[in-house]
Structure 1
Amino acid sequence: MKIWTSEHVFEHPWSTVVNAAWRKYPNPMNGAVTNMDVISQQVDEGVVKSERIIQSQFSIPSWATKLTGFSGTQYSHEYSVIDPSKQTMSLTTRNMNGVSFLKVDERLTYVPHTTDPNKTILKQEAIISVKLPAFADYCEKTFLSVYSSNATKGRSGIEWVIGQFRKEYDELTNKVSSEVHEMGEKMMGAFHKVK
């Protein structure tokens, strides 16, 4: 069993990061996630609880496919809790297939920075267990390396989504400004005709 932990500070408020984290897939930074399906969602006293199935595609060496039968298509179950009043978001994820030889438990927590409300702390933890005789240590280290790389891509994906938010906001602001200006011009034109 191998344990990986990380802490990352986003230079954005909690609400922005959480919105982006919820909408981070698909994104061009991490093409491994190919599909997400919400299987349940409920709001209980302002707390949003959701369950999703995530489909990912990974390149697997042919020897690993022969040894395990795993094709590279991975399904995971994600459970998330978003509490806006406490400003916390937690996600726990576990793989659903391949558990006879590989188990990956992941936990992500997003909270506001303790001293700067314009920043958000992401705490990540993954526990990887491989049940293959003679290959366990090597496979755990390999999967840990892949996980670490994907975690970096995931954080980049959140930044990309935040960039998309800004782009959409700027486009909408420009459109509204243009329409308001155009409407003002028409009103002034109509006013001059009345004179």
Structure 2
Amino acid sequence: MVKYFSNDTDIRTTWDLVVSAFWQRYPNPFSTHVLTEDVVYREVTADHRLLSRRLLTKTNRMPRWAEFLFPGNLSRSVYVVEDSIVDLVARSLTTYTWNLNHTALMSVKERCVFQEPEGRPPLTWLRREAWISSAVYGFSRPIQEFGLARFKSNQVKAMKGLEYALANLQAGPGLRLSAAVSTVASVLVGRFMAPSTRMLAI
């Protein structure tokens, strides 16, 4: 059995500014559990899509009842992969995230779509979905319930972090998406993408 979560939000800001803030949301005071972020792949395609893969490290504080069930030397860090597609034609940003470790204890898969609604600027529509599962026999249900509660709490913090980044952008010169894509195309791809790098299936 898998716990499913879905939430729709209207962000009252233009899509290009939201996308710019997305890349600049860490660090922020609402997401102190996010320790590191690293870009491991980036490509600008011929049809003006920006493909990225990032590796995030987050803290993983267990509930007190779980500390009696699992060994004390279990890593308290969670490694999370984030794949993203920025589509300039469709005016959408789609992200997929999932944890790499502790998957037997709990697996969390998330999909977010930031979409510019046709005929309704300045507005960005966000749909966030999550699938939470556990393979721990006899305890999967309480673990999934805990994971769902934590996810809801963290997604509230994630929105506050995005709003924090948006406020910083709006306080000074905003980084527009066209400039960001130009920079990625001319600098990031040429300098940081090794010929042997491959993008895993999204």
TM-score interval for Structure 1 and Structure 2 normalised by the shorter chain: 0.7 to 0.9
Q: Is the 8 A contact 1:68 1:101 kept in 2?
A: no
Q: Which aligned pairs between 1:7-156 and structure 2 lie closer than 5 A?
A: 7-45=8-46, 46-69=48-71, 70-156=74-160
Give the percent of matched residue pairs that are identical in Structure 1 and Structure 2: 26
C-alpha displacement at 1:71, in angstroms?
Answer: 3.0
Contact in 1 for aligned 2:42/2:52 (Cα 8 Å): yes
SS in 1 for 2:110: strand
Give the corresponding residue for 1:168.
172
Shift of 1:116: 1.3
In the TM superposition, residue 129 of structure 1 has moved relative to its aligned partner by 0.3
Larger displacement relative to structure 2 (64-73 or 17-26): 64-73
Equivalents in 1 of 2:10, 2:65: separation in Å? Answer: 38
Distance 1:132 1:115 in 2: 47
Structure 2 unpaired stretches of 5+: 175-202
The 2-side partners of 1:17 and 1:89 are apart by 10
Contact kept in structure 2, 1:49 and 1:82, CA below 8 Å: yes
Letter aligned with residue 30 of structure 1? S
Which structure shows the bigger proportion of residues in helix conformation? 1
| TM-score normalized by the length of structure 2 | 0.79
* CA shift for structure 1 position 168: 2.5
Once residues 9 and 65 of structure 1 are traced to their aligned partners in structure 2, the CA distance between those partners, rounded to angstroms, is: 38
Aligned to 1:177: none
CA distance in 1, matches of 2:166, 2:82: 22
Give the deviation of 1:152 after TM superposition: 0.9
* Contact 1:37-1:52 at 8 Å conserved across structures: yes
* Kept after mapping to 1: 8 A contact 2:95/2:112: yes
State the 1:62 CA deviation: 4.9
How many residue pairs were aligned? 170
Larger of the two Rg values belongs to structure: 1
Which structure has more relative contact order (CA 8 Å, sep 6+)? It is 2
In structure 1, what residue type is equivalent to 2:155? Answer: A
Report runs of 4+ in structure 1 exceeding 4 Å deviation. none
8 Å Cα contact 2:106/2:143 also seen in 1 = no
Q: Which sections of structure 1, spanning at least 5 residues, go unmatched?
A: 171-195
Q: TM-score, normalised by structure 1?
A: 0.82
